[in-house]
Chains A and B, each alone.
Chain A
Amino acid sequence: MEPTPEEGTAAGTDAVDAATGTPPPRPDRSGEVRADSDLAPPLSGETYFAPGPDGEPAGLVAETSEGSQELTRRGTTGAGELRREVGAVLRLPEGVVVDPSNIDVEQSDDNTMIINMGPQHPSTHGVLRLMFELDGETVLRTKPVIGYLHTGMEKTAEELTYVQGSTNVTRMDYLSPLHNELVLSLAVEALLGVEMPPRSDWIRMLLTELNRVSSHLMWMATNGMDLGSTSMMIYGFREREMILAFFEKTTGLRMNHNFIRPGGTAADLPDGWEDDVTVICDTVLPRTDEYDELLTGQPVFRQRTESIGTISAEEALALSLTGPILRSTGVPWDLRRSMPYLRYDEVDFDVIVGTYGDNFDRYSVRLNEIRESIRIIRQIVEKMPAGDYRVQDKKVTPPPRARIDESMEALIHHFKVFTEGFKVPEGEVYVAIESPRGELGCYLVADGSSKAYRMHIRGPSFVNLQGLPLMMRGGLVADAVAVCSSVDPVMGEVDR
C-alpha cells in the first residue's frame, strides 16, 4: 500500500482512531481568522470587518499605530513573512545580563517579561535553554538557545579514520546510537562503491528497528514524566532494559555501541538471537497496549496533549521538520517507505500518520510506530538470510581474528585497517535515513585519504527545534514543557 497524500491521511486517521480511540469532535474553526491581536497585547485594539477594494469579499482589518492593516489567514501567509511577522521567535541576544542594581521596578508598557528556562532543568530534555517572552502565563515568543553540548564532533571526525568514525558519531543521538553509525556507514559505503552482503543489511535493520523501539519507549517514559506520570517513566525503562540487554549481548555495550561500521557490522549475531528477539517482541507488544490504556484514554493526559502545540503541514514543511512531527500533521513522509535504504522495501509495514499535528498526534504516532517496528522485527527474524555479516573486501574489512595467526597477509591487513585505516576515493555524498526523530543525514566529503575531509551530520532534532517557537506560541508555560517533550529533541545531535 503506497500511501498517496490523500490515502495516507485517511489510512493514518484510521490507524490513529482504531488504535487509540476516536478523538472528540473538533470545533470547526475553518472560517475563523486568527489574528495576532488576539494573542499579543493590541497596539491599538480595534479590529473590524471591512469590505476590500473593488468589491472583494470582506476581510478582517485591524487598526494599528501605522494605519489599518489587513489580516489574512495564517495559511495564506508566505512562509518567510510568517516567520518574521508572526514573530514567534524571540530574537534577543543570549547573553542578556540584567544588572541587579538597575532593574526598573515599575511596570513596563507591554506587560511582558522575559524568563529563562534551562539549561539545567528537569524538563528540557537535556541542556536546552528556552527564553520565553511571557504575558502572564501565556507564551508569546520563544528563543531556543542551544550549544551547551557542542562537542566538536564534526571537527573530531576530520581527525579520525573511517573505522574510528562510528565511535565519534554514535554519541550524537545517544538514544538511538545505531542510527548514527548506520548513516555514516552508508555514506562511506556509497563512496567506496561496495556491494553489501544481504545478511549485513538485515542485521543492521534488526538492530536499528530495535533501537527505534527503545528510543520511542524512552520517549514515552520521559514524556509521561513531563506530564506528571512518574509510573510511565519506570515502565518505559523496564522494556528498554530488555532491549539493552540484547544489545549488550550482541554488541558488547548497552549504549554507544560502535557496532555498525563501514563494510558491515563488527560481528555476527550471537547464537540464539531469534529466541531473544522473539521474547522481546512478545513482551513489548502487550505492554505497549498497557501503556496505551494507561495514557490514551486518560482525561488529564488528553486535555494536556490535545490541540497543544499544533502545527500545520505547510508550516512543518517550511521549517524542514521531519519525522513524527511531520507525520503527525498528515504528511505521510517516511524515508523507509519513500526512499528505502537497506531492505525496507522487502518488509511490510505501515506509515503512521496523524491529523491535527498536536501533541496527542505525535504521541500516538510514536506509540504506533513501536507496534510497526515490532512487526518489522518479526519479519526480519523470519527472513534473515545466512551469509557474511560484512563485505569481503580485503582493503576495507579486517580479516577474522583466527586468520591472523595463520596468514601474514591477514596480519598486515588487520594492522593496516586498524592503524592507518582504509582509503576512500575522492567524492562527496549525502545519505539520509529515518531515525526515530526524523531525517538523519550525513554529508561526507572524501579526499582520497583514510580520514574524512568533511563530515556533516544533518541532525533531525537540530532542525525540529525550529518548530518550537511556533508550536508554543499562545500556549501556557506548562504547555511549553509538554510541547518541548513531544518534539523529542536529543541535545547530542542538536549540538554535535
Chain B
Amino acid sequence: MGLEDLEHNFLTGRLEDLVKWARTYSMWPATFGLACCAIEMMSVGAADFDLARFGMEVFRASPRQADLMIVAGRVSQKMAPVLRQVYDQMMEPKWVLSMGVCASTGGMFNNYAIVQGVDQIVPVDVYAPGCPPTPETLMHAILTLHEKVRTADITERRQGGRPGQAEIRGGHIRSNEQGADTEDARTASEEETSGWTPERPDAVHLGTPRRNPVIARSVGEPL
C-alpha cells in the first residue's frame, strides 16, 4: 500500500503537495558521469554554480540511494548494458536527465560506437542540449525537472509511448498505467508521432518562458 492506492481527494491533496515538495528539494543524483559533460556536472556541484542550494550536492555513488540519474556524456555500445543495469537498480520514483547532445541524440558522433540517444535504453524526462551544456543550462534542466515533479500528478508514470513524454490535457499531466519500458508501448507510439520530433516536448511546455511566441507556435502550442 503506497501513495498510489490513496484516493485523490481534498485531504490527500495537501499530502501529495508535501511529498512532491520533498521529492523536489532532496533529489539526489547518481554519479553517471561518462565524458566531458561529467566535468561540467562536477562544475555545477562545485562552488561557482552551487548545486547544494537545491539540495543536490550529494552525488550518491550507489544507485539504490539515488533519485535522479544524470547521464552525462556519450554512451558507447559497451556501456549501454551497464547504463540499463544502473537504471534498473534505482528505486522508484526515479528520473533521468539526459545531459548533453551525445546523451540526447548521439551528438556529433553518428557512428557505430555510440548509442544514438540514451532514450533508446532508458526513459528520459528532460533533455539538456549543449556540447557540453554550460552549468547554467544544466541547472535550467534540473529546475525544469523540479517543475515537472512539483506540478505533475503524484502517480505519474511515463506514458506508454515515447519514453519521457507525458500527455498533456487541459494543463494537467495525465498518467498512463503502462510503463514506457514495454516493447509494444514503444512501437505503438511510433505510429502516432512523426518519429523524429515530439508533439509537445515537456521542456518546452514547462521550462521555457512564454514570452517568445515564435517558439510556442512552431511546436503547435497555443499561447
Contacts and interface: CB of A to CB of B under 8 A. Distances in A.
B176 interface: no
Contact of A148 (B38, B39, B63, B82): B82
A168 interface: yes
Given A126-B38, A175-B39, A152 B73 contact: no
Given A127-B34, A171-B36, A237-B43, A152 B82 contact: no
B112 A254 contact: no
Chain B: interface residue count, which band? 20 to 34
17 contacts: A122-B59, A126-B38, A149-B35, A151-B109, A151-B111, A152-B111, A152-B113, A152-B114, A153-B109, A174-B39, A234-B47, A237-B48, A238-B46, A238-B47, A254-B132, A255-B132, A492-B36
A441 B43 CA distance: 29
Nearest to A248: B134
B74 interface: yes
Given A171-B35, A238-B48, A148 B86 contact: no
A403 interface: no
Interface of A: 119-122, 126-127, 147-153, 155-156, 167-168, 171, 174-175, 218, 233-234, 237-238, 240-241, 244, 254-256, 491-492, 495
B125 interface: no
A120 B31 contact: yes
B33 interface: yes
A241 B48 contact: yes
Interface string B30-71: 011111101110110011100000000001010100000000
B211 interface: no
Given A126-B35, A155-B113, 20 more contacts: A119-B79, A120-B63, A127-B79, A147-B78, A149-B35, A149-B73, A151-B113, A153-B109, A155-B112, A156-B108, A156-B109, A218-B39, A233-B46, A237-B46, A238-B46, A240-B43, A254-B134, A255-B39, A255-B132, A256-B131
Contacts of A167: 108
Contacts of B34: 126-127, 148-149, 491
B151 interface: no
Nearest to B74: A151
Contacts of A155: 111-113
B40 A254 contact: yes
B36 A495 contact: no
A119 B33 CA distance: 10
Contacts of B108: 156, 167-168
Contacts of A174: 35-36, 39
B47 to A, nearest CB: 5
A287 to B, nearest CB: 13
- Which 7 residue pairs spanning A and B have beta carbons closest together? A237-B46, A152-B113, A174-B36, A122-B61, A152-B111, A148-B79, A241-B48
B47 A495 contact: no
